[in-house]
Chains A and B, each alone.
Chain A
């Protein structure tokens, strides 16, 4: 089993630097520069996983990011375990531990493998058809599916690594550092453009960098040596930045791109400490040059998925770049000239090529002649009809193709092998181009989609633009660059090129077999186990759109997004349904091009940096006094202050009682505050609130409701007239930003003629609210100079005053129904004023209370909380607040909507009070309200919006919205709960002090 399949003279690996790693529990050795895939292949390991549906053994198939099979889990301790890593991309490092994914209990003995024998029962749409019915069985199915189709494990502890985001602005971004990308980057940078070149691999040069044979020459040097000199020059250019191991994940509109730069994944673990692991680059480029290359196509024939079957270009790359032979008896199978390049490379390295099977009948090129010179048998006009070997391919059956390519003829011949390289031609990697909104066109000559129209300032060059051969690239790329960069000349004008590659190709999307399609397993999507048979079945069942066929068969829906087989899926649809390829379109390629880690996506926005935290200037006092906090938007608000081991209920009951019996104090600094000035300020308020403002005297406060234009309440608060043309508006804590935005919108767009200026001052002033029968005495102690007599300073009025030398505003307004004063003071003095109030209130048992008690107190009084008792469907009339809607005003925002046919319906949901028959029973907020439990279906009349046990009334109280509730006073309703029904009576929403005696006391 373990053999050394290294051959000499590799480009990339350093054979003097040995690295040990573990795969599925066994220790192996590779060299620095190896990927996990190349190191495994060097150890003669092809079998690396099981397929998703049939659990068929699968091997390494490619040498790049298009890999569908070799998906592994990395284990670097529990917190750094990572699923879905492509073995073809991860560079090995000392101590790497990896296991196969999607196999249970082991890759060699896989229980799900039985699905392979059951496969006649697992056609396309199998999961949709079977597991949908009966619905009650789903739990059992789910257990089975999840257990056997494990797609890796995510770590269950926080990620210890550092990730970051970085913005980059450049003149020209070049994606891909193959030969065309390098030419583009060099040309752009040398012409004065600030250029960024990104390359997903660790090295520059693409596939040309190991194209070192006499059959490909540039200026009389082999193409690899020519390119190496170019790279050395490129590295020296000043305004050219090069980033390797950087993969562009998304190409959005307006040349905005996201790329992931991998900084430490290739380093030994101990060298990664305190370094940024991955960086998300947010690139805005004036011009983008896409040079993403092309991906070799597989061929679609029976059992084309066995371990040991690779893309022909991957076999060449493993030999040339990593010095690894994928097998000792290689067969190559093709419909074009590419495999002959592979054959010549293998011959040069002394690796045996058993035979070449070529779909084409009449072929002739210098590459083929060279191959034949080495006594390699070429079967011309043949196809493979089957392959053998369970965990590793051991032979193939071949037959002659008919003239039209639709059938096989003659007799079968078997050839043994241990590796099979396949090539179905090349598919331009147009994923990023189409992500950006680019439209493709179909080129019939060689059956490829290539870029047609560009949505932004960008071009595609090289093989992603359909220029596959060296001469096409070197002739077309400079031409395209001159036009795109608007330059007169490039240094590639009189270059001499020699390419032995012949472009002839015989394209057959689904190769014929001596068996009927229904009896074959010709895989189109290797990761998701979609076969040609599945696609044909989907078409028979009536699916026509490529997007529907994709979802029904799951073709192209794996982590590789079908980079290999999507074209064949299209081809088979086109042939079966007799429609033209160009008219079918392609499925949508969505970002990311290759999977991103969550760490990269969130960057530094984790833990306490997840979101902005807003704290009031009194916050530290709340912390010192053991407050529990609640999040209100971005604010941290004191929720309640438990004492002596109280739970929340006990603390809130105590706080609520104290506030009404003597004195309570609340930090109300989070309320939104908007300073409004200008000669039209009164008129402006008239238009944005439902009630009238023109006659409000200076020094008075007024409560207002704001509606949307559709008549629905969206915010409320008290606004105070500070002076003739000067008001201060308060909004709810959560509504502050939207209210300001809305007011600005109307001022700028509907009423630009109004002389009004708005300034948010929420953070500038802190608000301390002292309430209760003793509040007046406390405020008097804190501000001795102020006259608090009811005559001089009645409810709903305001005074300017001073605490020491510091100016403050005092409002007598109340959200609790108690006599109550609010001190507004410059934020940096707030904590000391708060402490003054606590000191002054000591003799009155002043009790700090949090938002929960505030909510309870206002509910006793029937005051609404916009957003809790209202949603976007409640008018002031629905809230039984008709008194606040001016009948006289000509207009205000939302007025006209209050008498639309829908808003005047009597059976709208309306706000009411609810009293439980059992005064100890507290309703659940959100619980449904019904009248009749016997009628089916049970009609839902509404729901509970606020509910508390009132310590002052000594009973349970609640607010709710009920259809037609206004006319149901005294009526009995039912709150059905999971295990019981609670009987309630509809009441007025004001439970306490209807006459407002306490406010004015």
Chain B
């Protein structure tokens, strides 16, 4: 079980958090102007990487804030956590 460093609360048990899928997928500003394929790209297509992955997490049983995490999915090492809207601190 991870020990996650919430950018607002500090280190907490993973059981306080909810994973929210891939990060940095921006909702299109004008969805109505997109083709079916372009909309499907936003809606369904996720990377599911083995290795460094950027993810959304929510401190659901804590401050309820969403934030981003960089995690190596091959060994579960959390490389960084950062607030929504901030640039990832690692590549």
Report A's interface with B, CB cutoff 8 A. 252-254, 256, 284, 437, 455, 709-710, 741, 744-745, 748-750, 752, 890-891, 895-897, 900-901
Q: Which residue of B lies closest to A748 (CB)?
A: B66
Q: Which residues 6-50 in B have Cβ within 8 Å of A in the complex?
A: 13, 18, 20, 27, 30-32, 34, 36, 39-40, 43
Q: Which 3 A-B pairs have the closest CB atoms?
A: A896-B31, A256-B1, A254-B3
Give the distance in Å from the alpha carbon of A383 to the alpha carbon of B51 in the complex.
50
Give the chain B neighbours of A744 by CB distance below 8 A: 64, 66
Closest A residue to B18 by CB, please name it. Answer: A741
Q: Are B43 and A710 in contact (CB under 8 A)?
A: yes
Q: Measured between C-beta atoms, what is the minimum distance from A714 to chain B in Å?
A: 15
Cα of A437 to Cα of B32 in the assembled complex, Å: 46
B38: min CB distance to chain A, Å? 10
Residues of chain B contacted by A896 (CB below 8 angstroms): 31-32, 34, 39
Q: Do the beta carbons of B1 and A437 come within 8 Å of each other?
A: no
Instruction: Find the A residue at minimum CB distance from B67.
Output: A748
Query: Chain A nearest CB: distance from B66 CB in Å?
Result: 5
Given A752-B84, A900-B36, do A895 and B3 touch, yes or no (CB 8 Å)? no
B56 touches A253 (CB 8 A): no
A252-B1, A253-B76, A748-B84 given as contacts; is B66 within 8 A of A897 (CB)? no
Q: A710-B43, A900-B39 known; A752 and B85 CB under 8 Å?
A: yes
- Are A745 and B58 also in contact (CB < 8 A) when A254-B2, A437-B75 are? yes
B31 touches A253 (CB 8 A): no
**What are 14 inter-chain pairs, A to B, with CB distance below 8 A?**
A253-B76, A254-B2, A256-B3, A437-B75, A709-B27, A710-B43, A745-B58, A748-B65, A749-B56, A749-B66, A752-B85, A895-B32, A897-B39, A900-B36
Report how far A252 CA is from B34 CA in the complex, Å. 44
List B contacts of A455 (CB < 8 A). Answer: 75-77
Q: Mark B65-86, 1 if CB is under 8 A from A, else 0.
A: 1100000000111000000110
Q: Are B1 and A253 in contact (CB under 8 A)?
A: yes
| Residues in B neighbouring A284, C-beta threshold 8 A | 3, 13
Q: Which residues of B contact A710 (CB under 8 A)?
A: 43
Min CB distance B76 to A, Å, is: 5
User: CB-CB < 8 A to A890: which residues of B?
Assistant: 32
CA gap between A709 and B66 in the complex, in Å:
19
B78 smallest CB distance to A (angstroms): 9
- Hey, which chain A residues are within 8 Å of B3, CB to CB? 254, 256, 284
A895 lies within 8 A of B1 (CB): no
A745, A750, A890, A901: most-surrounded residue (chain B CB, <10 A): A745
Instruction: Please indicate the chain A residues that have their CB under 8 angstroms from the CB of B27 in the complex.
Output: 709, 750
Distance of A480 Cα from B65 Cα, bound (Å) = 41
* Distance of A895 Cα from B13 Cα, bound (Å): 37
CA distance A252 to B40 in the complex (A): 37
**Pair count A-B, CB < 8 A:** 53
Contact across chains for B39 and A741 when beta carbons are under 8 A apart: no
Question: Which residue from chain B places its CB closest to the CB of A744 in the assembled complex?
Answer: B64
For the complex, give the distance between the alpha carbons of A896 and B56 in Å.
23
**Which residues of B lie under 8 Å from residue A741 when comparing CB positions?**
18, 58, 60
- Distance (whole angstroms) from the CB of B69 to the closest CB of chain A: 13
Give me the interface of B with A, judged by CB distance under 8 Å. Answer: 1-3, 13, 18, 20, 27, 30-32, 34, 36, 39-40, 43, 56, 58, 60, 64-66, 75-77, 84-85
* Distance A895 CA – B84 CA, assembled complex (angstroms): 25
Bound complex: CA of A530 vs CA of B40, how far in Å?
A: 51
The answer to whether A891 touches B76, judged by C-beta atoms less than 8 angstroms apart, is: no
Other contacts beyond A284-B3, A744-B66, A891-B31: 6, CB < 8 A: A455-B77, A709-B27, A749-B84, A752-B85, A897-B39, A901-B36
CB distance from A746 to the nearest CB of B (A): 8
| Residue pair B39, A437 in contact (C-beta under 8 Å) | no
Inter-chain CA distance A901–B58, complex, in Å, is 33
Q: Which residues from B are CB-within-8-Å of A891?
A: 30-32
The minimal Cβ–Cβ distance linking B24 to chain A, given in whole angstroms, is 10
Q: How far is the CB of B79 from chain A (nearest CB, A)?
A: 14
Q: Which residues of B contact A901 (CB under 8 A)?
A: 36
A8, B25: Cα distance in complex, Å:
74
A871 to B25, CA, bound (A): 26
Q: Which partner residue on chain B sits nearest A892 by CB separation?
A: B31
Chain B's closest residue to A284 (CB) is B3
Chain A residue with Cβ nearest B42: A709
Nearest CB to that of A896 among chain B residues? Answer: B31
Min distance, Cβ A2 to any Cβ of chain B, angstroms: 51
Closest to B31 in A: A896
Measured CB to CB, the nearest residue on chain B to A252 is B1
B20: chain A residues at CB < 8 Å are 745
Identify which of B1, B64, B75, B76 gathers the most chain A CB atoms within 10 Å of its CB. B1
* Alpha-carbon gap, A750 to B1, bound state (A): 29
Which residues of B lie under 8 Å from residue A745 when comparing CB positions? Answer: 20, 58, 66
Which one of B39, B60, B65 has the highest number of Cβ atoms from chain A below 10 Å of its Cβ?
Answer: B39
Chain B contacts of A437 at CB under 8 A? Answer: 75-76
Residues of B within 8 A of A895 (CB): 31-32
A676 shortest CB reach to chain B, Å: 16
Closest B residue to A250 using CB positions: B1
Q: Report the nearest B residue to A900, measured CB to CB.
A: B36
Asked if residues A897 and B43 are in contact (CB atoms below 8 Å), the reply is yes
CA distance A890 to B33 in the complex (A): 11
- Please, how many angstroms separate the alpha-carbon atoms of A901 and B39 in the complex? 11
Distance between B20 CB and nearest chain A CB, rounded to angstroms: 7
**C-alpha gap A891/B27 in the complex (Å):** 12
A residues less than 8 Å from B75 (CB atoms):
437, 455
Residue of A nearest to B20 (CB): A745
- Min C-beta distance of B9 to chain A, whole Å: 15
Q: Would you call A253 and B2 a contact (CB within 8 A)?
A: yes
- From residue B59, how far is it (CB to closest CB) to chain A in Å? 11
In the complex, what residue of chain A is closest to B40 when comparing beta carbons? A900
User: B45 to chain A: closest CB distance in Å?
Assistant: 13
Tell me the complex Cα distance, A356–B3, Å: 53
List, in ascending order, chain A residues with CB within 8 A of B84's CB. 748-749, 752
In Å, the complex CA distance between A144 and B65 comes to 57
| Cα distance A895–B39 in the bound complex, in angstroms | 11
CB contacts (< 8 Å) of A900 on chain B: these are 36, 39-40
- Complexed CA–CA distance, A523 and B75 (Å): 36
For B78, give the chain A residue with the smallest CB separation.
Answer: A254
Nearest to A253 among chain B residues (CB) is B76
Write the chain A residue with the least CB distance to B30: A891
Report the nearest B residue to A758, measured CB to CB. B64
A891 to B31, CA, bound (A): 7
Instruction: Tell whether A254 pairs with B1 under 8 Å between CB atoms, given A890-B32, A891-B31, A895-B31.
Output: yes
Which chain B residues lie closer than 8 Å to A749 at the CB level? Answer: 56, 66, 84
A590 CB to closest chain B CB, in angstroms? 16
